[in-house]
C-alpha cells in the first residue's frame, strides 16, 4: 500500500496490493481521536464547534517561533499512528495530508506556522519516513534516557516530538543544539513549558552520549530469541519479522533485508504508451526538469528516479496521465501475464488499478480487461484514471466480491490475474508504517483469504487458459506454499515456467517469478503462471 501520488490522482498508490490492517483502516481525512490520557494537552480541537470562539481565535494565530517542518512532521506522525493516515500520502501540490496541511496543524497544536517551502517539504518527508522506520530503535533510546522507562503512557504528541529530535540528532546528524532548541520550542508552545523542559533535558542527555559514542544499544548475543530482540531494536523491525526472516533467510540475509527496508526508497515511472507518450518522451521531460534518472534495464517503458518526485508532480506529468508511479516489480508481474492485443483478461482484485492500466495499455485498443474489486471507492478511482490514461475503452469495472461472484459461466477467460491481498512484506521500504501494523495472526488470516481467492479465480479460467497468482510479499507461506496448496486441490492445473516472460535472474528453481529487494533493488514481488489443462 505504498501511498504516493499514483497515476496522476491523489489517492493511495498500490503498485502491489497489501491487505488492510485494523490499525490503518480509518480514513486519512477523519479527525484525529486520541486516548484519554492526552486530555491534558491541547491536541483534539473542535475548531468549528459552538462555543469554541476563543479556541478558534487561538488557532488563527501565526506562531513564527516554531519550526514549520517540525510542527507539520509531529502532526503527520500523530495522524499516521493514531488517526489511520498513511505514511507517504501526497496531494498534487506535494504537501502531504490533503490540501489543508496547515489546518491539521492548527487543529492539533493550536496555532499556525508559516507555509512550507520546498526545503521544508523535503525535511518533512525525510523526518516522517525516517522516524517511522526507526521507531523501535528511537523508542529504545528514549526509554533508556527517561526516568519513567515505560514510554507507552507518555502523551502522544510529546513522544512524537522526542522521536523527531532523536531521529534528527542520531540519524540525520543535524546540529544537535539547534535540534534541541527547536524541539523545545515546539513542546512548549504545543503542550506547556514543563514539556519543553523535559524535552530539553532528555535531548541534552542524548547529545552527550552521542558525542561520547556511547548510545545505550543492545548487543546481539544470547539465544535465538535474545538475538532476535536485539536485532529488532538495532534495525527497527518487529521481533516476529526478524525471527521469521532469520528462519527463512539466515541472520546475515535478514540483516541485509532490514537495511534495505530502512533505506530511502526509490521510485519508477512508467511512460503511458496509450497516450502516445514514450519513454524517450519521458526522458526528455525529466531532463528539462533536471530530475536525475536511469533507464530500467528490464522494461522498455520504465525509468528509475531517486529524488525529484515532487518536481514531477508539480510539473503535471502525472495529472495529465502521461506517466504513472509504478514499481518495476509490478511491471514484471504484468510481463508474466503477457497481455496481447485482442485478448480478454480478467483482473480479479483490480483496484486501485496499477496492473490493470498497464495491461490495458498493451491491448492497443483491441481486447478487454474486466476489473473486479470488492471496494467500490477504489474501483471508481480506477475508472476515472482509466479515462485519464485513455484506456477506458478496454476496461470494464465489476463491483463484486470474487468469492461470491455468480458462477454463471459467462465470465471466463484464457488469462486471469489474481493480484491477491497480502502482508506487503516486500514493500516495506516504501511503506515504512506497514511493519508496525502487521502481526503473525494477520499472516494466518491472509493465507486463508489467498486460498479462497485462488479457488474462486480458478473458476474463471477457460480450459487451456492461464491463471497468474501474484503478491507483493517475500514470504514463502504467501507465495510458493499457496501455489503448492492450490495445485494439491486442483489437479487440472500445472505450473508454466516464467522463463519466456521475465529475465532469467527473476526465475526461481520452481519456475516462479520473484523479485528480491536486496538482490534486485526492487520491491519484493512474486508471480506464478498456472495453466489449466484442456
C-alpha cell of residue 58:
487561538
Q: Is 13 annotated as a binding residue?
A: no
Other residues' Cβ atoms within 10 Å of the Cβ of residue 35: 10
Which residues have C-beta within 8 Å of that of residue 316, sequence separation ≥ 6?
Answer: none
Q: Is 409 annotated as a binding residue?
A: no
Burial tier of 409 (Cβ tally within 10 Å: 0-12, 13-18, 19+) = exposed
Q: Which residue has cell 470562539?
A: 53
Q: Provide the sign of the torsion angle of the four alpha carbons 477, 483, 484, 485, taken in this order.
A: positive
C-alpha cell of residue 269:
515511472
The 8 Å CB, 24+ separation contacts for 130-133 are: 130/167, 130/171, 130/172, 131/73, 131/77, 131/160, 131/163, 131/164, 131/167, 132/77, 132/80, 132/87, 132/432, 132/433, 132/436, 133/236, 133/261, 133/262, 133/432
Q: Is 353 annotated as a binding residue?
A: yes
CA distance 52 to 12: 34
Q: Is 488 annotated as a binding residue?
A: no
Other residues' Cβ atoms within 10 Å of the Cβ of residue 224: 11
Q: Is 419 annotated as a binding residue?
A: yes
Q: Name 372's bridge partners.
A: 398
The 8 Å CB, 24+ separation contacts for 274-282 are: 274/360, 274/361, 274/389, 274/390, 274/391, 275/321, 275/322, 275/389, 275/390, 277/322, 277/323, 279/303, 281/322, 282/317, 282/322, 282/323
Q: Is 347 annotated as a binding residue?
A: no
Q: Is 354 annotated as a binding residue?
A: yes
Please answer whether residues 151 and 247 qualify as being in contact, where contact means their C-beta atoms are separated by less than 8 angstroms: no
Catalytic amino acids?
472
Q: Is 355 annotated as a binding residue?
A: yes
Q: Is 455 annotated as a binding residue?
A: no
DSSP designation for 165: H
CA distance 164 to 167: 5
Instruction: List the Cα angle 47/51/55 in 5-degree steps.
Output: 40
Half-sphere exposure of 64 (CA within 13 A, CB side): 0
Please answer whether residues 382 and 434 qualify as being in contact, where contact means their C-beta atoms are separated by less than 8 angstroms: no
For the annotated binding site for S-adenosyl-L-methionine, the residues are 349-355, 373, 401, 419
For the annotated binding site, the residues are 349-355, 373, 401, 419
Amino acid at each position: 500500500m505504498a501511498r504516493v501520488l499514483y497515476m496522476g490522482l491523489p489517492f493511495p498508490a498500490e503498485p502491489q496490493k497489501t491487505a488492510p490492517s485494523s490499525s490503518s483502516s480509518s480514513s486519512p481525512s477523519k479527525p484525529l481521536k486520541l486516548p484519554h490520557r492526552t486530555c491534558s494537552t491541547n491536541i483534539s480541537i473542535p475548531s468549528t464547534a459552538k462555543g469554541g470562539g476563543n479556541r478558534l481565535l487561538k488557532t488563527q494565530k501565526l506562531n513564527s517561533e516554531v519550526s514549520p517542518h517540525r510542527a507539520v512532521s509531529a502532526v503527520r506522525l500523530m495522524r499516521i499512528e493514531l488517526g489511520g493516515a498513511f505514511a507517504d500520502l501526497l496531494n498534487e501540490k506535494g504537501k502531504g495530508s490533503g490540501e489543508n496541511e496547515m489546518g491539521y496543524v492548527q487543529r492539533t497544536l493550536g496555532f499556525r506556522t508559516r507555509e512550507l517551502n520546498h526545503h521544508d517539504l523535503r525535511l518533512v518527508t525525510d523526518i516522517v519516513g525516517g522516524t517511522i522506520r526507526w521507531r523501535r530503535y528511537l523508542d529504545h533510546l528514549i526509554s533508556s534516557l527517561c526516568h519513567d522507562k515505560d514510554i507507552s503512557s507518555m502523551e502522544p504528541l510529546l513522544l512524537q516530538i522526542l522521536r523527531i529530535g532523536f531521529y534528527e540528532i542520531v540519524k540525520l546528524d543535524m546540529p544537535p543544539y539547534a535540534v534541541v532548541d527547536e524541539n523545545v520550542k515546539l513542546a512548549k508552545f504545543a503542550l506547556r513549558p514543563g514539556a519543553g523542559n523535559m524535552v530539553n533535558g532528555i535531548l541534552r542527555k542524548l547529545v552527550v552520549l552521542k558525542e561520547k559514542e556511547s548510545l545505550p544499544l543492545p548487543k546481539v548475543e544470547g539465544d535465538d530469541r535474545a538475538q532476535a530482540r536485539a536485532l529488532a531494536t538495532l534495525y527497527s523491525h518487529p521481533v516476529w519479522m526478524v525471527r521469521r526472516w532469520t528462519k527463512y533467510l539466515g541472520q546475515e540475509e535478514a540483516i541485509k533485508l532490514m537495511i534495505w527496508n530502512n533505506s530511502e526508497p526509490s521510485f519508477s515511472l512508467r511512460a503511458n504508451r496509450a497516450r502516445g507518450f514514450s519513454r524517450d518522451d519521458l526522458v526528455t521531460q525529466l531532463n528539462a526538469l533536471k530530475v536525475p534518472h536511469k533507464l530500467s534495464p528490464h522494461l522498455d517503458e520504465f525509468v528509475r528516479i531517486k529524488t525529484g518526485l515532487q518536481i514531477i508532480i508539480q510539473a503535471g506529468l502525472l495529472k495529465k496521465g502521461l506517466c504513472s508511479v509504478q514499481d518495476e516489480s509490478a511491471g514484471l508481474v504484468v510481463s508474466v501475464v503477457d497481455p496481447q492485443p485482442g485478448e480478454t483478461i480478467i483482473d480479479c482484485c483490480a483496484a486501485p488499478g496499477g496492473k490493470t492500466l498497464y495491461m490495458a495499455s498493451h491491448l492497443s485498443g483491441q481486447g478487454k480487461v474486466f476489473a473486479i474489486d470488492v471496494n467500490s471507492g477504489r474501483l471508481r478511482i480506477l475508472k476515472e484514471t482509466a479515462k485519464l490514461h485513455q484506456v477506458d475503452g478496454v476496461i470494464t469495472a465489476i463491483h463484486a466480491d470474487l468469492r461470491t461472484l455468480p458462477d454463471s459461466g459467462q465470465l471466463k477467460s484464457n488469462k486471469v490475474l489474481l493480484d491477491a491481498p497480502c502482508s506487503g512484506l516486500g514493500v516495506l521500504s516504501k511503506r515504512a508504517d506497514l511493519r508496525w501494523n502487521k502481526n503473525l495472526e494477520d499472516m494466518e488470516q491472509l493465507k486463508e483469504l489467498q486460498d479462497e481467492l485462488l479457488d474462486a479465480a480458478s473458476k474463471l479460467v477457460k480450459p487451456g487458459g492461464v491463471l497468474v497468482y501474484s503478491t507483493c510479499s517475500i514470504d514463502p507461506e504467501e507465495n510458493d506454499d499457496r501455489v503448492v496448496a492450490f495445485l494439491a486441490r486442483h489437479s487440472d492445473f500445472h505450473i508454466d515456467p516464467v522463463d519466456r516472460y521475465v529475465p532469467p535472474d527473476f526465475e526461481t528453481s520452481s519456475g516462479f517469478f520473484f523479485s528480491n529487494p536486496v538482490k534486485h533493488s526492487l520491491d519484493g514481488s512474486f508471480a506464478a503462471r498456472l495453466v489449466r489443462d484442456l
